[in-house]
Amino acid sequence: MIDPRETLREGDALLVIDVQNDFCPGGALEIPEGHKIIPPLNKWIAAARELGVPIYASRDWHPERHPSFEPHGGPWPPHCVQDTEGAAFHDEVDVGDAIVVTKGTRFDKDQYSAFDETGLAEELRRRGIKRVWIGGLAQDVCVKATAIDAAKAGFETHVLPEATLPVTPEGGAEAVAEMRKAGVTIES
Ligand SMILES: [Zn+2]
């Protein structure tokens, strides 16, 4: 595992993707052992804060009847419904002072990526960000989509393998291959 204090520098941003109750054990769309990414992620968050590196925390924030929900034609059980406990950030993830990026609020489509029509790429460019470091849930869904979009938007993109987990191991392996193909660096 690389040391965040030795790694982060000016021009970096940390992106914490969807560390919400519904994606952790006991949640509506639980990722097996999803909560285990929180301690390593918190080390990155603490280092970022110390070094003045901006921290953005995305959240899936669905209206009731969202089209990604099975009863409304989507692939997922209902999850992260706005203002519910399931949509809240996990108690242990240290994102109290992070800038929140909200996605998944539209009725016409889902948004897996924190960059999908959120204006995040423009925001990061305005701040002079060149590199992004990404962790969170799930590796094979929203982390993958966010990392690929970050690389496409021209950011040097790194995913922290100890700070992300997939819905399924097979999905995780495919996600790693797809992200690498898109130019994302996955530290090992
Ligand atoms: Zn969702």
Residue 187: pLDDT band (50, 70, 90) is confident
For ligand 1, the distance from its centroid to the CA atom of residue 15, given in whole angstroms, is: 17
Show the domains of the chain with their CATH numbers: 4-186 (3.40.50.850)
What kind and span of H or E run contains 50?
helix 38-51
Q: pLDDT tens digits for 43-78? A: 999 999 999 999 999 999 999 999 999 999 999 999
Distance 90 CA to ligand 1 centre (A): 16
Residues 144-179 have pLDDT tens digits of 999 999 999 999 999 999 999 999 999 999 999 999
At 178 the pLDDT is: 98
Handedness of CA 27, 60, 11, 49 (dihedral sign): negative
- DSSP state, residue 59: E
C-beta atoms surrounding 65 within 10 Å: 11
Sign of CA dihedral 137, 139, 143, 145: negative
Q: Say what the pLDDT of residue 140 is.
A: 96
Mean pLDDT of the chain: 97
CA dihedral 6, 100, 37, 152 (to 10 degrees): -70
Centre of ligand 1 from the C-alpha of residue 24, in Å: 13
| pLDDT tens digits along 22-37 | 999 999 999 999 999 9
Give the residue numbers marked as catalytic: 18, 103, 142
What are the phi and psi torsion angles at 62 (to 5°)? -90, 140
Q: What is the pLDDT of residue 1?
A: 77
Tokens 């992300």, located at residue: 164
Q: Which of 147, 151, 163, 139 is nearest to 44 (CA)?
A: 163
pLDDT confidence tier of residue 6, bands split at 50, 70 and 90: very high
Q: Are strands 156-165 and 131-137 parallel, antiparallel or unpaired?
A: parallel
Residue 180: pLDDT band (50, 70, 90) is: very high
- pLDDT score recorded for residue 45: 98
Question: Tokens 């399924």, residue?
Answer: 168
CA of 176 to the centre of ligand 1 (A): 20
The tokens describing 174, both together, are: 């495919």
Residues near ion ligand 1 (Cβ under 5 Å): 60, 104
